[in-house]
Amino acid sequence: MRKTFLTVIAISLFTALMVGVTSCGRALPNERAQDGSAEFLAQDREDDTGASQQDGQESASDSVTAPQTTSNGLMNGASPITSALAFYRFDGEETSLSYSYDSNTTKSILSALDAVCAVAAKNWSLDDITLPIYGFEITATDGSGLFAAWSNGYWISQDGTVYRFDFSFAELETQYPWSDQQGDFSFTYFPCAHFLTQDENGWNRTLLTPVAELEPPDGVTMTLESWDKDMVTVTIAANSGTSWHYGEYYALQVFLEDVWYEIPVMPKHWGFHDIALLLQAGEKKNQTYYLKMYGDLPAGTYRIAAYGLSVENTLS
């Protein structure tokens, strides 16, 4: 009798462990993995009375408006009180952007996202991306930004980690009020676009945006002085009889199959000082451009472009 009782206990424990491995109902955050990705233990789905859900019934966590039961931690630190939530959508032709300004609405959206079970995806690749692609941006409590993208059941975090993330963003788009919708701007500025356009094989031009032909100003030249890993130094010269105004803005572009493309920056709040710089007639000045915001660059031909001027360099 005692032997039978112990056998039943052993079978029950094994069954419970297997349910925890295969189910992703109520995810409990475990210790962080060494690579920074969140690991989860899963419990068998139960209703409020403790009884297991029947197959075919929709759980609360499957709904867009689901109440938060646990946290996946992917949007930890978001500050809905002090920041609007920016919601992006790319359909292959146009990138649209709209906002949630109401803090209670934003909290509800973040709660719904936070309750989704997120499991690190080991074999994700750029080939898994399908349209539409959704994205989020919100300011964190420390003043930094939180960025994320989603496509085809995958959540792409701002550190490049990818998770399986079963959620209906189409319903999210229609069930919540969004304001100030904008469109017709480059995918280059989409949240986490850097990780949607580059992998171990280099740049993938499928989602990269081609750039218009440059129109250099008359009598002004840009000459490359040095190109290091983190910065590029050039000399700008006004060779005509007139002065020239410019600023600090610049962009890094890559040359792929006879076309120049914009390169998305790493997910972070980057900006330029909005100031006017003056180059007197006949004057030369050095200008330094920093590449940190573009991350590690794969081999290829690149150029710095600024106000119609450019310099090129090939990285091996």
- Work out the pLDDT band at 18, boundaries 50, 70, 90: very low
250 within 8 A of 214, measured Cβ to Cβ: no
What is the per-residue pLDDT for 70? 61
- Would the pLDDT of 314 be above 50? yes
Residue 64: CB partners within 8 Å, gap ≥ 6? 112, 167, 168, 171, 172, 175
What is the per-residue pLDDT for 59? 37
By the 10 Å C-beta count (0-12 exposed, 13-18 middle, 19+ buried), 158 is classed as buried
Top-confidence residue, 1 or 154: 154
The predicted model gives 210-235 an average pLDDT of 96
What is the per-residue pLDDT for 123? 93
SS3 of residue 306 by DSSP: strand
Positive or negative, the CA dihedral 92, 158, 23, 63 is: negative
Instruction: Determine how β-strand 277-279 pairs with β-strand 244-246.
Output: antiparallel
The predicted model gives 294-316 an average pLDDT of 97
What is the per-residue pLDDT for 84? 97
- Would the pLDDT of 33 be above 60? no
What is the per-residue pLDDT for 185? 85
User: By percentage, how much of the chain surpasses pLDDT 70?
Assistant: 78
For 165, phi then psi, to 5°, come to -150, 95
- Would the pLDDT of 194 be above 70? yes
| Cα-based distances in Å from 31 to 36, 72, 184, 201 | 10, 12, 42, 32
pLDDT in tens, 114-156: 999 999 999 999 999 999 999 999 999 999 999 999 999 999 9
- Would the pLDDT of 4 be above 60? no
HEC readout, 200-259: CCEECCCCCCECCCCCCCCCEEEEEEEECCCEEEEEEEECCCCCEEECCCCEEEEEECCE
The predicted model gives 235-262 an average pLDDT of 96
| b (16+ CB within 10 A) / e for 85-109 | bbbbbbeeeebbbbbbeeeebbbbb
Dist CA 281 CA 70 (whole Å): 64
Dist CA 194 CA 302 (whole Å): 16
pLDDT in tens, 35-72: 333 333 233 333 333 333 333 333 333 444 443 346 89
List the beta bridge partners of residue 289.
Answer: 232
- Work out the pLDDT band at 198, boundaries 50, 70, 90: very high
The predicted model gives 67-91 an average pLDDT of 88
- Would the pLDDT of 23 be above 60? no
What is the per-residue pLDDT for 241? 87
SS3 of residue 173 by DSSP: helix
pTM of the model: 0.78
Q: Rounded mean pLDDT of the chain?
A: 83
pLDDT in tens, 268-282: 999 888 899 999 999
- Would the pLDDT of 247 be above 90? yes
Dist CA 230 CA 112 (whole Å): 40
What is the per-residue pLDDT for 24? 57
DSSP 49: T
Question: Cis ω on the peptide bond leading into residue 298 (within 30° of 0)?
Answer: no
Closest CA to 73 of 106, 35, 117: 117
- Work out the pLDDT band at 240, boundaries 50, 70, 90: confident
The predicted model gives 245-259 an average pLDDT of 97
- Work out the pLDDT band at 31, boundaries 50, 70, 90: very low
- Would the pLDDT of 192 be above 60? yes
Residue 249: CB partners within 8 Å, gap ≥ 6? 272, 306, 307
